[in-house]
Amino acid sequence: AGSVESKNEAAMSELVPEPRQKPVVPMKPMGINASLLGYIGIDTIIEQMRKKTMKTGFDFNIMVVGQSGLGKSTLVNTLFKSQVSRKSSGWNREEKIPKTVEIKAIGHVIEEGGVKMKLTVIDTPGFGDQINNENCWEPIEKYINEQYEKFLKEEVNIARKKRIPDTRVHCCLYFISPTGHSLRPLDLEFMKHLSKVVNIIPVIAKADTMTLEEKTEFKQRVRKELEVNGIEFYPQKEFDEDLEDKTENDKIRQESMPFAVVGSDKEYQVNGKRVLGRKTPWGIIEVENLSHCEFALLRDFVIRTHLQDLKEVTHNIHYETYRAKRLNDNGGLPPMTVETEENHESNL
Amino acid sequence: AGPGWLSVRPSVPPAALMDALVLQERLVERLLSPRPQAPRSQPGRLKDHEKQYVGFATLPNQVHRKSVKKGFDFTLMVAGESGLGKSTLVNSLFLTDLYKDRKLLNAEERINQTVEIVKHTVDIEEKGVKLKLTIVDTPGFGDAVNNTECWKPITDYIDQQFEQYFRDESGLNRKNIQDNRVHCCLYFISPFGHGLRPVDVEFMKALHEKVNIVPLIAKADCLIPSEIRKLKERIREEIDKFGIKVYQFPECDSDEDEEFKQQDRELKESAPFAVIGSNTVVEAKGQRVRGRLYPWGIVEVENQAHCDFVKLRNMLIRTHMHDLKDVTCDVHYENYRAQCIQQMTSKLTQDNRIESPIPILPLPTPDTETEKLIKMKDEEVRPISACTSLVLELESK
């Protein structure tokens, strides 16, 4: 209202040029702003939610994909500071490379600060290890879709469980071999196929094989290749919710990712502190030292800041996409709960 | 006095020869001082007296001098997945930059790439000794999604060189035969695996009877010492298990000195060598060394506590280069030749024709014109080396 008045005034007093009044910024439309007479306690809802989450705990399912020997198991153990990988659960480390890609899921419950997390690590031994690796991503895609299907079936059930067990893959860490040149054809193929189905976080494995310049150059080249090939890794640009998200995620996407990591489950004494690291004849590589490698960035990203978002994107976007496709394929009808296993397979 | 190039132990000649050689005494006295000890296990030898010193012990030196004038050649093949530091290692070994103008392909370009054979030749001279070094590169090996038989272009190349040598050797003009046979193949094993990968096993099995394979663990600076030990053990076990015949260092002579024997033992125990390459010089402890600078320390390429680069270089260049060539000539090439002749003779009995002694073997040429030309030349029983080398050159382009 203020701006219209001042304009009229200006028009009328053209002869005497007056400094224009600054227009008043119009207010956002809001309901009646009730002024509080005292403290109600609405903000305690956050605390209530927190207590509830602590009691129920939460699920997190992380998949690791990459050629054998890239340090996947060690990295997962380092991330969660526990022996949670397949290799630590009694599997023989010297096992032969399987002839086809296998999917091995191991679950653990870990607790921190009163919060319980049911962590499932899904390993994919055999990926990329054969002479002929054509379509080796198919068993992985199949597994991911099977988890969506399981969830869908529970959802459309008449008598639904209070809390549907969530086995869907929330995050897929893809391990890039640190060649220093560029991505390999297999990397491109995998990520092209699966970035539409699951959140992929590319990491550069065994990054202690590159000097700082080599690392920077390699990361730039990998980012460019991913962009040129239209591969949307997590956090995907199209799912940024607001400006704040976008700025934060832009920085991560364009500067930090892919994270160049080093994993270790051994501790050494450095400057009076016990640190996780690798002891070489020429020095100790500290895993959590940001000037040595980006493990700490990856850990903060996956666990401390974006864990919930990973789950939400999986549920709200990837799962919904799957669900929509299934409903459309089925002619708009939800899948029958009396489906046999064979029928269910063929619909995928 | 041998530098290790040739280890010729002269035996006692019959009396008649000694008469002929006695004239060279003067020359001997001027060239080298006679060895004080008598050669071992030589019963019936004359008393060690200066006048009766024969002088054929100079033979190694004479051979040495002639070879130095002629120059040496050596063909080294490097194979392994891309990104394992092969080019850097070759540059480090020979202290040159062979790959200045190399263009690296990105992932998309590599999707449809096939395995190529690329040769780089460089002439190196050191202290008057000339070496014509040829490096045979194999870009594209092991990089595709489907690597079935990706070693075929490589085995074909090696066979072609044998083939050419066979023809040259059987031709009339043998003065200037060019030896393009591959004397050694450095095979790079990824340090990121838990041992040999399927493609490693298949490659080595396809090539172990055609060329001397020296397996290496690449980019060894990403492994800590205990990991290197485990990996070496694992690889040695798997090489045994799969029956792969890698290049064996020859046994030491029993009369070598202890230090040499110790070095030889260490060499054998370090295989496969865990190597690092670098052509950049960094500052370490006030010294300038070739190495890699990390935030946590400096890896020195020539420090034996850091990697086996020095062992590899010494083995390849300073002690075993000649043996590698010998084994190529005496074992791999002879195998090939024997197979060829067998095939030819079985063809002869089949066809019932008298063919020329020059081998007529089907070259893998797509060009029937050239094939006709070769057959023509063969039948004329003229030296065909010029012709076939042209064909092979056109082919490999």
What are the tokens at B349?
């009995």
Going by C-alpha positions, the residue among B320, B311, B230 that lies closest to residue B276 is: B311
pLDDT score, position A27: 55
Phi-psi bin for B128: left (phi > 0), alpha (psi -120 to 50), beta? left
Contact of B148 with chain A, judged by CB distance below 8 Å, is answered with yes
Q: Residue A130: which of B104, B198, B293 has the nearest Cβ?
A: B198
Half-sphere exposure of A24 (CA within 13 A, CB side): 8
Cα–Cα distance between A294 and A262 in angstroms, integer? 8
What's the mean per-residue pLDDT of chain A?
Answer: 83
Interface check B105 vs A, CB under 8 A: yes
Q: Which of B147, B294, B297 sits opposite A132 (nearest CB)?
A: B147
Which A residues in the span 150-179 are in contact with B, Cβ-Cβ below 8 Å? 177-179
- Residue in chain B lying closest to A132 (CA): B146
Could you tell me if B167 lies within 8 Å of chain A, comparing CB atoms? Answer: no
- Confidence grade of residue A310 (pLDDT, cut at 50, 70, 90): very high
Q: Are B235 and B196 in contact (CB under 8 A)?
A: yes
DSSP B50-73: GGG---GGGHHHHHHHHHHHH-EE
Average pLDDT of the residues in A266-286: 91
- Measure in Å the smallest separation between the Cα of A236 and chain B Cα atoms: 22
Contacts of B300 in chain A (CB under 8 A): 282
Domain A57-85+98-263+293-330 CATH (choose: 3.30.360.10, 3.40.50.150, 3.20.20.140, 3.40.50.300): 3.40.50.300
Query: Residue B46's pLDDT is what?
Result: 47
Question: Is there a contact between B224 and A280 if contact means CB atoms under 8 Å apart?
Answer: yes
Mutate to test the interface with A, among B224, B280, B301, B302 (most CBs of A within 10 A): B224
Q: How confident is the model at residue A31 (pLDDT cuts 50, 70, 90)?
A: low
Task: Give me the pLDDT at residue B394, please.
Answer: 63
pLDDT for residue A4: 46
Q: Which residues of chain A are within 8 Å of residue B199 when distances are taken between CB atoms? A: 131
Architecture of domain B60-346: 3-Layer(aba) Sandwich (3.40)
> What percent of chain A is predicted at pLDDT more than 70?
82
Query: How much is the pLDDT for A37?
Result: 74
Whether A94 contacts chain B with CB within 8 A = yes
pLDDT tens per residue across span A124-138: 998 999 999 999 999
Asked if A180's CB is within 8 angstroms of B194's CB, the reply is no
Domain boundaries, chain A: 57-85+98-263+293-330
**Beta-carbon separation of A183 and B106 below 8 A:** yes
Q: Which of B104, B105, B106 to mutate to test the interface with A (most CBs of A within 10 A)?
A: B106
Q: ipTM above 0.85?
A: no
B342 vs A63, which has greater pLDDT? A63
In 3-state terms, what secondary structure has residue B348? Answer: helix
Residues in contact with A77: Cβ distance below 8 Å, sequence separation at least 6, in sequence order: A83, A84, A85, A88, A263, A265
Contact A282 B82 (CB under 8 A): no
Chain B contact for A292, CB < 8 A? yes
**B296/A292 CB distance under 8 A:** yes
Q: Rounded distance, CA B39 to CA B34, Å?
A: 12
Q: Tell me the residues of chain A between 205 and 264 that have a Cβ less than 8 Å away from chain B.
A: 205-206, 208-209, 211-212, 221, 225, 228-229
Domain extents in chain B: 60-346
Residues A101 and A125: beta-carbon distance below 8 Å = yes
Q: Which two tokens stand for residue B215?
A: 């397996």
* Of the candidate ranges A277-281, A330-334, B124-128, the one whose mean pLDDT is the lowest: A330-334
* Least trusted range by pLDDT, from A40-49, A68-77, A203-212, A261-270: A40-49
Q: Which of A147-161, A327-341, B27-41 has the lowest mean pLDDT?
A: B27-41
Say which range, A179-193, A250-264, B199-213, B247-261, has the weakest mean pLDDT: B247-261
CB contact under 8 A, A209 and B221: yes
B194/A68 CB distance under 8 A: yes
User: Are A85 and A74 contacting, i.e. CB atoms less than 8 angstroms apart?
Assistant: yes
Is A179 close to B82, i.e. CB distance below 8 A? yes
Q: What's the confidence (pLDDT) of residue A95?
A: 61
Tell me the pLDDT tens digit for each residue of A216-233: 999 999 999 999 999 999
**Exposure of A264 by Cβ count < 10 A (0-12 exposed, 13-18 middle, 19+ buried)?**
buried
**Could you say which residues of chain B have pLDDT below 70?**
1-52, 100-101, 112, 351-397
Question: Do the Cβ atoms of A185 and B107 come within 8 Å?
Answer: yes
Structure confidence at residue B378 (pLDDT)? 58
- Classify residue B352 as left (phi > 0), alpha (psi -120 to 50) or beta: left
